[in-house]
Chains A and B, each alone.
Chain A
């Protein structure tokens, strides 16, 4: 979805968790803007707040303070139901362990996004077939995830993230389970797919070897962003 607004605007976002009687600050006054068509690498050690930032940007978590705007849509005050709809229609996710549905084939794994939402079956099928073709998976459309290689599963997951034509795609450690060569191929693919669609992306990683595939790298330590 192309809009004139930035893909993501986070202003002074704080996320605080209450653990027992102690408050844990997972994200401290984070401000981040991701332009259209921009790919940002979010790098930091474990427990640094990468996932929390990603979850807030993707509408999974709500911030304790600050504002979040995705593709011009202010989601700061959204309740759970509106956030669910927002995720369904406006953002894409590629999870660390890919997490394809094991009993659905590649094509159906893409179509499941449509099942959760508006059910434009005919259009969705055309879009899924086109995505599979672009990702080089046309001949694997009827294969179950168990019949696909790691790289092919990763490509199916990317296709699934793109099914709803999102403004922003969150990639959670997309190369963590891949060797260097395959990891580079996947990152190249991500860059190609995002740029060809003008879609923005945040790539969460602690692997410095893949950051050069991104337009910009943002570091995060102890919940504090450092450009």
Chain B
């Protein structure tokens, strides 16, 4: 292994090309992964923050808050029969006019009414007030500003900021259910809801019978008309989320495959070039495992350098890009995941050289044929 690392140190020019290509691939992998994370975060942050065992929708809603209606009698049934903690939920997507930004400068806002605990969001601040998602700051909104929501220009004042609660690509505004119902009924009369009716219910069941999930318990109590989803299922049911994930994951998969091919080609060429030296190594008593171990060491070292450069590059890109301009979210988890994928690709790419290493004949070291 040590001679392999010494070669890297003493003949770095040999490894510049694969390192450069792998660095670009690593940047692409991390950047695309960051975009995927950013998009998913922007679409799902609010749902992810809902603290409950399950979310109950009406059965024809396909998990969409905007299509769902849950009547008060169902809520009562769940509360009484399961002794469950139930909170009403609703969301309305509207344009909001920001003071000082001109009459046509609208910010896209998801107005949430909530009774249930939301992770990172304090209790509702009071009638006509709301907690704004930090993304609104990019639109010039400040604490204390009054946003005029929808065509009816229903006023809601920003009481403070919360983080990572975007929904469907829009900044959330968290208000009490009365304020939300006022905003909804004033601006979306087609979707108006009567008192006590919610789009969905966040339900936490304190105790279920053995082997029964919270969803099973709710279905047992309310035998029809409901769609019960876990928070993760509700997140995936948001339109476009699964499609975005699948599309990006396919692009990321192809990128990893390209990395594998780059490593495979480079080390295959290196092995061909080194055949005579490897024959000498074998004649001196080196096993194929030792020689192949050297190749793997070099591939991992090259990938490590490429990954480190790429990690710094994407962090810098993330810092330089103005907040809110593109949905990029660079996290240590994404960088680590990209690095692991590249290391696997590098090791697998090296695997293509194994057969060639095994076939190197030490006899060619003698007789001048090498």
Binds B, one of A53-61, A71-79, A127-135, A187-195: A53-61
Binds B, one of A81-89, A148-156, A207-215: A81-89
B367 interfacial by beta-carbon distance below 8 Å: yes
Kindly provide the distance from the CB of B365 to the nearest chain A CB, expressed in whole angstroms. Answer: 6
Q: Please pick, from B277, B283, B285, B363, the residue contacting A101 in the complex, using a CB distance under 8 A.
A: B277
Q: Please pick, from A86, A96, A99, A104, the residue contacting B367 in the complex, using a CB distance under 8 A.
A: A96
Kindly provide the distance from the CB of B209 to the nearest chain A CB, expressed in whole angstroms. Answer: 61
Q: Are B367 and A60 in contact (CB under 8 A)?
A: no
Q: Are B284 and A55 in contact (CB under 8 A)?
A: no
Q: Please pick, from B10, B285, B363, the residue contacting A117 in the complex, using a CB distance under 8 A.
A: B285
For B281, the chain A residues whose CB sits under 8 A away are 112, 116
B3 interfacial by beta-carbon distance below 8 Å: yes
B286 interfacial by beta-carbon distance below 8 Å: yes
Q: Please pick, from B7, B276, B290, B366, the residue contacting A51 in the complex, using a CB distance under 8 A.
A: B366
Kindly provide the distance from the CB of B366 to the nearest chain A CB, expressed in whole angstroms. Answer: 5
Kindly provide the distance from the CB of A49 to the nearest chain B CB, expressed in whole angstroms. Answer: 10
Q: Please pick, from A85, A96, A101, the residue contacting B368 in the complex, using a CB distance under 8 A.
A: A96
For A96, the chain B residues whose CB sits under 8 A away are 366-368
For A165, the chain B residues whose CB sits under 8 A away are none
Q: Are A89 and B6 in contact (CB under 8 A)?
A: no
Q: In the docked arrangement, what's the CA distance between A116 and B284, Å?
A: 8
For B286, the chain A residues whose CB sits under 8 A away are 84, 88, 116
Q: A103-B6, A103-B10 are in contact. Are A112 and B284 (CB under 8 A)?
A: yes
Q: Are B285 and A104 in contact (CB under 8 A)?
A: no
Kindly provide the distance from the CB of A203 to the nearest chain B CB, expressed in whole angstroms. Answer: 13
A160 interfacial by beta-carbon distance below 8 Å: yes
A38 interfacial by beta-carbon distance below 8 Å: no
For B284, the chain A residues whose CB sits under 8 A away are 87-88, 93, 112-113, 116, 160
Q: A104-B3, A112-B3 are in contact. Are A99 and B285 (CB under 8 A)?
A: no
Q: A99-B277, A103-B6 are in contact. Are A173 and B368 (CB under 8 A)?
A: yes
Q: Which of A150-180 touch B at CB < 8 Å?
A: 160, 164, 170, 172-173, 176
B69 interfacial by beta-carbon distance below 8 Å: no
B287 interfacial by beta-carbon distance below 8 Å: yes
Count of chain A residues near B, Cβ 8 A: 35
For A173, the chain B residues whose CB sits under 8 A away are 368
Against A, the Cβ 8 Å flags (1 = close, 0 = not) of B275-310 are 011001111111100100000000000000000000
Q: A99-B276, A99-B280 are in contact. Are A81 and B367 (CB under 8 A)?
A: no
For B11, the chain A residues whose CB sits under 8 A away are 103
Report the nearest B residue to A86, measured CB to CB: B285
Q: In the docked arrangement, what's the CA distance between A175 and B235, Å?
A: 77
B2 interfacial by beta-carbon distance below 8 Å: yes
Q: A99-B277, A116-B290, A172-B366 are in contact. Are A93 and B283 (CB under 8 A)?
A: yes
Q: A89-B285, A115-B3 are in contact. Are A97 and B366 (CB under 8 A)?
A: no
Q: Are A55 and B6 in contact (CB under 8 A)?
A: no
Kindly provide the distance from the CB of A67 to the nearest chain B CB, expressed in whole angstroms. Answer: 20
Q: In the docked arrangement, what's the CA distance between A65 and B116, Å?
A: 86
Q: In the docked arrangement, what's the CA distance between A169 and B267, Å?
A: 33
B362 interfacial by beta-carbon distance below 8 Å: yes
Q: In the docked arrangement, what's the CA distance between A55 and B285, Å?
A: 13
For B287, the chain A residues whose CB sits under 8 A away are 81, 84, 116
Q: Are A108 and B3 in contact (CB under 8 A)?
A: yes
Q: Are B285 and A116 in contact (CB under 8 A)?
A: yes
Kindly provide the distance from the CB of A159 to the nearest chain B CB, expressed in whole angstroms. Answer: 13
Q: Please pick, from A54, A88, A103, A172, the residue contacting B285 in the complex, using a CB distance under 8 A.
A: A88
Q: Are B370 and A95 in contact (CB under 8 A)?
A: yes
For A172, the chain B residues whose CB sits under 8 A away are 366-368
Q: A88-B285, A95-B370, A99-B276 are in contact. Are A61 and B363 (CB under 8 A)?
A: yes
Q: Are B10 and A60 in contact (CB under 8 A)?
A: no
Q: Which of B283, B286, B362 has the most CB of A within 10 A?
A: B283
Report the nearest A residue to B361, measured CB to CB: A60
Q: Which of B106-156 touch A at CB < 8 Å?
A: none
Q: Are A60 and B368 in contact (CB under 8 A)?
A: no
Kindly provide the distance from the CB of B359 to the nearest chain A CB, expressed in whole angstroms. Answer: 12
For A108, the chain B residues whose CB sits under 8 A away are 3, 6
For B365, the chain A residues whose CB sits under 8 A away are 60, 93, 95, 99
Report the nearest A residue to B287, measured CB to CB: A84
Kindly provide the distance from the CB of A144 to the nearest chain B CB, expressed in whole angstroms. Answer: 8
Residues in A lying within 8 Å of B, measured CB to CB: 50-51, 54-55, 58, 60-61, 81, 84-89, 93, 95-97, 99, 101, 103-104, 108, 112-113, 115-117, 144, 160, 164, 170, 172-173, 176
Residues in B lying within 8 Å of A, measured CB to CB: 2-3, 6-7, 10-11, 276-277, 280-287, 290, 362-363, 365-368, 370
Q: Would you mind naming 5 contact pairs between A and B with Cβ atoms under 8 Å apart?
A: A60-B365, A85-B285, A103-B7, A112-B3, A172-B366
A-B pairs with lowest CB-CB distance, top 4: A88-B285, A51-B367, A116-B286, A87-B285
A108-B3, A112-B3, A170-B366 are known; give 7 further A-B pairs, CB within 8 A. A54-B366, A60-B362, A93-B283, A95-B283, A99-B276, A116-B281, A116-B286
